[in-house]
Structure 1
Amino acid sequence: MAKFKLTLYITGHTPRSEMAIFNLRNLCENKLSGEYELEIVDVLENPEIAEKERILATPTLMKLSPPPTRRITGDLSDHEKLINGLDLHKLNNRYSEKSE
């Protein structure tokens, strides 16, 4: 399985940022079994990174790999949107096809 590389852009330690971190870590531990790298970037501390990546709203999650690159904005509480955005339904389909 390809390791997922994810970057979550937040703005400070707000309730919305903390909720996004919690939701993402929960999903990653349950669905990716530790096969991921997660970087959290606070745009207040690193505005140049946010500008370079054209982050206009936070929280924003970027899936860098496996391709394609995707962006998901919000507190990541919509699990279906998060699963679809990360293409985890394809991952689950690959495993079920192999087991048949």
Structure 2
Amino acid sequence: MIEESDHLNPREDIVEHYILRLFIAGSSPISARAITNLRHICEEFLKDKYILEIIDAHQQPELVKEENVTALPMLIKKNPGPKKRLIGDFSDREKVLLGLGIRS
């Protein structure tokens, strides 16, 4: 027989992760800077609470079309909602934090 415990909340252990897709243009200096800047921000503010998928637009054009990417580098925050798009090398930390909804 399975019993539910009154003191356990099944949602307590669920941590909402940020799901991020970064579209880049190959190994250009701007792409490298965007990756580095974004990883530093994620590690500092979202430690263990994010999934970062890096997509080379030249190697995966179908994803570029699917996500309607119009500029590179572009970051798409898929979760938590609402979906947001940020463009640039992510060197302006405050703008990135605002765009991701980490700061208001």
**TM exceeds 0.5?**
yes
User: Which of the pair is proportionally richer in helix?
Assistant: 1
Deviation, 1:51, is 1.1
**TM-score normalized by structure 1?**
0.87
C-alpha displacement of 1:89: 1.2
1:40 aligns with 2:54: yes
Q: Give the one of 28, 32, 35 matched to 2:42.
A: 28
Is 1:11 the counterpart of 2:11? The answer is no
Q: Which amino acid aligns with 2:79?
A: S
- Percent identical among aligned pairs is 41
Residue 66 (structure 1) aligned to one of 54, 57, 80: 80
Determine the structure 2 residue equivalent to 1:96.
Answer: none
Residue identity in the other structure for 1:35? K
Cα RMSD after superposing both structures: 0.9
User: Which ranges in structure 2 are unaligned for 5 or more consecutive residues?
Assistant: 1-14
1:93 corresponds to: none
**Any gaps of 5 or more consecutive residues in structure 1?**
91-100
Give the ranges of 4+ consecutive aligned residues of structure 1 lying more than 4 Å apart after TM superposition. none
Q: Distance in 2 between matches of 1:28 and 1:34?
A: 9
Please tell me the residue identity of whatever aligns with 1:46.
Answer: Q
Does the residue aligned with 1:89 lie in a helix, a strand or coil? coil
Q: Distance between the aligned counterparts of 1:33 and 1:8, measured in 2?
A: 17
- Whole-Å separation in 1 of the counterparts to 2:61 and 2:19: 21
Name the CA distance, whole Å, in 2 between partners of 1:43 and 1:86. Answer: 22
TM-score norm. by structure 2 comes to 0.84
Q: Between Structure 1 and Structure 2, how many residues are aligned?
A: 90
